[in-house]
Structure 1
């Protein structure tokens, strides 16, 4: 299935049914009084997070969603039937915002979380509501309110505890294959990863975390170069970033320090909050460096990295992802850090309802009674 993480849709909630202006007419009951019922409520549109869905492809090609209208009220105190609500199921982690204002409408970060994205119109009132001691034969009723219409943007941000950063071919996919059951594509050319991959890393019977691998970044990614800038949003929910650095690049002109600094700069350009997340350096591909040179290569890299102004590098690990060397201590350190941070509690918006209140809507219309136009 094609991975789609953005979509634009239009939602139109149902219109409320009109109220009825009717009077009771039965044999031997000359003054039956008003008996016009209310119109039914228009259908609202809700979005529900579903963990069984992992892409927004359903909303890429079907872009308009309309709920049904409420039924009109009728005589004999018959109220119109309210329309059923329309449910849109989206992946967990979907953020829905108003396309015009940019305001966030819903952030569905928990499986089963439900949010109303378009409110159905309230049904109109029948003339039954307007009778009084001075108005015993009211002909007033109200029209149903129109449903809410909105243009929305859906944006999927995957839910993961740990995110992987690095240039193409830094070994991110190899690392996630080494520590989890995920099997992303691995090859010896750049941009092998074309969409985010998630892997569950189990460190104990009851302890685990989720790691996200996104396409590699290149210099200028925040301005649109390469693929990575499209997927940086998937790292915004993570709690720890692992910055993988190829310590033994095959390109003789490559400079690991310069490349690492470029990644840090791209993070700051894209989102300052993302750049402020805890970020650990993971120096990869030690298997390509002679064992007697490893310590010196690592020391030279860290000295140059700190000299460039990054005195606070966070924790530093040395690994060889392809063989698994050094990955277990890294995995356990991540688990301990996540446990110390406590559980991730996403912000859940206030539950919405369709309580329209008890006030009478305006304006009140007055139309001929049912049957008057026919001379009855």
Structure 2
């Protein structure tokens, strides 16, 4: 899918509806000329609501919808007739969407389940009609409440993909190829850097009809946490993953150094990423001989589980799946 179709950040102006005014009305009928107050209540203004939709995976449908306005409530009427509520505006969003205040950065809502609904901006309450204000000492109140105004705010909607495993690596580490052989996902694959311009999701089948979701995150480069390359834009998606799968080719000059650089970029972006389960896969092992692999094992980091794989020959893929599943089901992060 073209990168222009993956939108993970939008800023929209939202305005909820104002409440309808209560009615100032007195009952006037032929046989009851002094029938007393019977003003009805105004209707509530329309809400702005976020709703989770598992069929969506991007905020593209909201990219050009800069202003969202809910209906105002209808004023009350005589005969104690209440006004109709203003129609709510429901914004369907992908699972993993967060709403933030653009000024304070405060998180206002988070959508993680299908059909989950959160009122982003409530509509104004309708005013009470004068029927509510009659008393034994004031039987003809000439007062009814106005409706409450609606709320208007700019809102940032930010998507963080929901996946069990996030693939982390420099460009051309083999992330897209691995996703294509482990799942039905078909990301673009080529022999040049930054082939992956948008995150891709794939469902990986496991033993006994189990499965887990893998996200291919666009390649990180040194300095991504400071905004270099494509990494900064997509690093937020890694925050949602339970396990981080680091991919480094067997042909790399210094595997330990590459691994430490990747860790440093993640730590600089969000130190909490260091608490996630980690697994290191040495990719493209079909391109080196056994003696080279033996030498590589001496250079590997000691504090992370390591699996040697080849997406082309499918070497080590079952072992990789087992290791991932073990991490996903572990009670404590590795």
Q: Given the two structures, how large is their TM-score scaled by the length of structure 2?
A: 0.95
Q: Who is 1:33 aligned against?
A: 36
**Counterpart among 215, 219, 222 of residue 222 in structure 2:** 219
> 1:283 & 1:30 partners in 2: Cα distance?
91
Q: Who is 1:275 aligned against?
A: 274
In the TM superposition, residue 341 of structure 1 has moved relative to its aligned partner by 4.0
Q: Who is 1:336 aligned against?
A: 326
Pair 1:139-2:139 in alignment: no
Indicate the structure (1 or 2) with the bigger Cα radius of gyration.
1
Q: Who is 1:293 aligned against?
A: 292
Q: Who is 1:207 aligned against?
A: 210
Q: Who is 1:265 aligned against?
A: 264
Q: Who is 1:13 aligned against?
A: 16
> 1:40 & 1:335 partners in 2: Cα distance?
53
Q: Who is 1:150 aligned against?
A: 153
Q: Who is 1:118 aligned against?
A: 121
Pair 1:169-2:172 in alignment: yes
- Deviation digits for residues 142-196 of structure 1 (CA, Å, limit 9, x no counterpart): 1000012121110101110011111100111111112111111111100000010
Q: Who is 2:248 aligned against?
A: 245
> 1:292 & 1:220 partners in 2: Cα distance?
34
State how 1:175-186 maps to structure 2 within 5 Å.
175-186=178-189
- Deviation digits for residues 290-316 of structure 1 (CA, Å, limit 9, x no counterpart): 1233112222x22xx4xxxxx52x211
> 1:21 & 1:176 partners in 2: Cα distance?
66
Secondary structure at 2:32's aligned position in 1? Answer: coil
> 2:11 & 2:193 partners in 1: Cα distance?
30
> 1:157 & 1:328 partners in 2: Cα distance?
28
Unpaired runs of at least 5, structure 1: 306-310, 343-376
- Deviation digits for residues 101-145 of structure 1 (CA, Å, limit 9, x no counterpart): 211111101111110000000001111011111101110111000
Secondary structure at 1:323's aligned position in 2? Answer: coil
**Counterpart among 298, 306, 317 of residue 316 in structure 1:** 306
**Counterpart among 71, 76, 79 of residue 74 in structure 2:** 71
Alpha carbons 2:282, 2:309 under 8 Å: kept:
yes
Secondary structure at 2:329's aligned position in 1? Answer: helix
Cα 1:315–1:256 change in 2 (3 A) is closer
Q: Who is 2:90 aligned against?
A: 87
> 2:214 & 2:36 partners in 1: Cα distance?
69
- Deviation digits for residues 73-107 of structure 1 (CA, Å, limit 9, x no counterpart): 11122211111211110001101111222111111
In the TM superposition, residue 257 of structure 1 has moved relative to its aligned partner by 3.0
**Counterpart among 49, 52, 55 of residue 52 in structure 2:** 49
Q: Given the two structures, how large is their TM-score scaled by the length of structure 1?
A: 0.85
More displaced 10-residue stretch of structure 1: 14-23 or 272-281: 272-281
- Deviation digits for residues 270-291 of structure 1 (CA, Å, limit 9, x no counterpart): 0001122121111111111112
> 1:282 & 1:116 partners in 2: Cα distance?
43
Secondary structure at 1:33's aligned position in 2? Answer: coil
> 1:124 & 1:40 partners in 2: Cα distance?
8
Secondary structure at 2:63's aligned position in 1? Answer: helix
> 2:214 & 2:320 partners in 1: Cα distance?
13
Give the RMSD, CA atoms, in angstroms: 1.4
> 1:277 & 1:74 partners in 2: Cα distance?
59
In the TM superposition, residue 205 of structure 1 has moved relative to its aligned partner by 4.1
> 1:245 & 1:340 partners in 2: Cα distance?
24
Secondary structure at 1:243's aligned position in 2? Answer: strand
